[in-house]
């Protein structure tokens, strides 16, 4: 039993934390949020240089990490700083799907930071069900609509799921392909997404399907729970500081037991969340993967809501203002429950898997 990070991962964590606390300030991020692109190409390039992208891929794939704990280390740090650039969607999900499909040259570009991707899988009315695909593929031409596709506007290629003779299959679609329409919009918690429609749009078959979608979603859940854990660390740290410095009735408000006990509860739940992420990362490559991921996603969803709401409440009005760090962090935490299955979805899946 050993809960220490390896030396390499420790170094990556230190480097990333230092870089983000220097460069990714609240003011910088608010500028990024207000920009048309909703992301910073400079930040992307610099983080690629620091090895953040390589850490998301195995050595076989041309990277130097790729395991559950590599993802956890990277995304926990991105979450602490409330990073909105599409590391999860473009690099991890898009890149790992291309790796599964054996498109090594493109994976190399992803790791170099020069290729942007979007995974166009979910559809209107599909909610969180991974097998809900009504987009049709016929003779390599795709027709259908995809919902809330992250990073679609910036992507050089979209990876689109469609039913081909009743099997779900994935296709690579060029951003300039005929019949492809991308209607973009900003997201409440930062970043951009789009509604994507395809009308006889040519797609290059990747020869992978639903199993690949399930595998990459498993990776995404590890990454996203770690990211949310990082955001919760920031939210609790800000709240702890605030309770120690904000004075009302002549004393720091943290000296009121009603608040002190609630702060203690948050710290207890934060450790639960940390362990849930460790479970998710540790069981990623075992038979217990799906059960563990559902347990972790459910717990992070519950604890996340508690932490976000309590952090705002204990701060009072200041936490409601966009220019204060917590506002963005709280939105990241809560909105994370709207992807890859929410608290209830994973409770149900946990029940189904544990009685199976």
Name the token pair of 150. Answer: 């992250």
The reply to whether 169 sits near another protein by the rule CB under 8 A is no
148: contact with another protein by CB under 8 A: yes
Nearer of residues 186 and 209 to another protein, judged by Cβ: 186
Nearer of residues 52 and 168 to another protein, judged by Cβ = 168
**Going residue by residue from 241 to 260, which x/- string records binding to another protein, judged by CB under 8 A?**
------xxx---x--x-xx-
Minimal CA–CA distance to 233: which of 341, 326, 336? 326
Nearer to another protein, 12 or 120 (CB): 120
Residue closer to another protein (CB basis): 61 or 228 = 228
DSSP string, 48-97: HHTTTTGGGS-TTTTSS--SHHHHHHHHHHHHHTT--S-IIIIIIIIHHH
How far, in Å, are 146, 209, 341 from residue 160 at the CA level? Answer: 8, 10, 19
User: Residue 202, interface with another protein (CB under 8 A)?
Assistant: no
Of the pair 103, 349, the CB lying nearest another protein is at: 349
Task: Confirm or reject binding of residue 2 to another protein (CB under 8 A).
Answer: no
Q: Are 190 and 79 in contact (CB under 8 A)?
A: no
**Judging by DSSP bridges, how do beta strands 157-164 and 117-120 pair with one another?**
parallel
Pattern of binders to another protein over 312-331, x per CB under 8 A? xx--xx-xxxxx---xx-xx
Residue with tokens 């039993």: 1
* Closest approach of another protein to the CB of residue 55, in Å: 26
Contact criterion met (CB below 8 Å) for 192 and 186: yes
For the bound state, the minimum distance from the C-beta of residue 31 to another protein, rounded and expressed in Å, comes to 14
Determine the distance from the C-alpha atom of residue 189 to the mean position of all C-alpha atoms in its chain, rounded to a whole number: 12
**SS3 letters for 281-304?**
HHCCCCCCHHHHHHHHHHHHHHHH
- Nearest one of 296, 277, 275, 288 to 340, comparing CA atoms: 296
**Closer CB to another protein, residue 285 or residue 323?**
323
CB 230, CB 76: distance < 8 Å: yes
Residue pair 160/171 in contact (Cβ under 8 Å)? The answer is: yes
Q: Are the CB atoms for 157 and 237 separated by under 8 Å?
A: no
Nearest distance in Å: CB 124, another protein: 5
CB of 57 or CB of 345, closer to another protein = 345
* Closest separation in Å from C-beta 30 to another protein: 10
Residue 138 contacts residue 179 (beta carbons within 8 Å): no
**Residues from 14 through 53 that contact another protein (CB under 8 A):** none
Q: Which of 102, 124, 140, 200 binds another protein (CB under 8 A)?
A: 124
Under a CB-based contact definition with an 8 Å cutoff, are residues 230 and 273 in contact?
A: no
Rule CB under 8 A: choose which of 128, 204, 209, 353 binds another protein: 128
Binding mask 178-197 for another protein (x = CB under 8 A): -----xxxxxxx---x-x--
| Residues binding another protein (CB under 8 A) | 122, 124-125, 127-129, 147-148, 183-189, 193, 195, 247-249, 253, 256, 258-259, 305, 309, 312-313, 316-317, 319-323, 327-328, 330-331, 334-335, 337-339, 342, 344-345, 347-348
């Amino acid at each position: 039993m050993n809960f220490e990070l390896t030396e390499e991962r420790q170094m990556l964590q230190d480097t990333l934390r230092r870089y983000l606390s220097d460069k990714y300030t609240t003011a910088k991020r608010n500028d990024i949020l207000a920009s048309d692109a909703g992301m910073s190409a400079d930040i992307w390039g610099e983080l690629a240089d620091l090895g953040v992208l390589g850490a998301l891929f195995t050595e076989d794939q041309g990277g130097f990490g790729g395991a559950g704990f590599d993802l956890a280390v990277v995304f926990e740090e991105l979450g602490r700083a409330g990073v909105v650039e599409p590391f999860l969607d473009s690099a991890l999900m898009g890149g790992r799907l291309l790796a599964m499909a054996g498109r090594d040259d493109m994976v190399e570009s992803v790791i170099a930071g020069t290729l942007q991707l979007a995974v166009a899988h979910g559809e209107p009315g599909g909610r969180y069900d991974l097998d809900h695909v009504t987009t049709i593929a016929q003779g390599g031409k795709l027709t259908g609509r995809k919902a809330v596709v992250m990073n679609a506007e910036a992507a050089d290629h979209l990876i689109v799921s469609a039913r081909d003779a009743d099997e779900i299959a994935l296709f690579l679609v060029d951003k300039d392909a005929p019949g492809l329409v991308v209607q973009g919009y900003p997201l409440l918690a930062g970043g951009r997404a789009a509604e994507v429609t395809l009308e006889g749009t040519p797609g290059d078959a990747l020869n992978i399907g639903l199993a690949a979608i399930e595998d990459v979603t498993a990776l995404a859940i590890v990454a996203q729970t770690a990211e949310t854990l990082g955001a919760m660390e920031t939210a609790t740290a800000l709240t702890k500081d605030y309770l120690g410095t904000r004075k009302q009735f002549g004393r720091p408000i943290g000296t009121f037991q009603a608040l002190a006990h609630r702060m203690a509860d948050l710290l207890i739940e934060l450790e639960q969340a940390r362990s849930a992420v460790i479970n998710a990362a540790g069981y990623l490559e075992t038979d217990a993967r799906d059960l563990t991921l559902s347990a972790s996603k459910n717990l992070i969803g519950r604890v996340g809501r508690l932490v976000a709401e309590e952090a705002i409440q204990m701060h009072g009005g200041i936490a409601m203002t966009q220019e204060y760090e917590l506002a963005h962090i709280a939105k990241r935490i809560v909105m994370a429950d709207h992807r890859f299955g929410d608290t209830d979805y994973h409770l149900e899946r946990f029940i189904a898997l544990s009685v199976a």
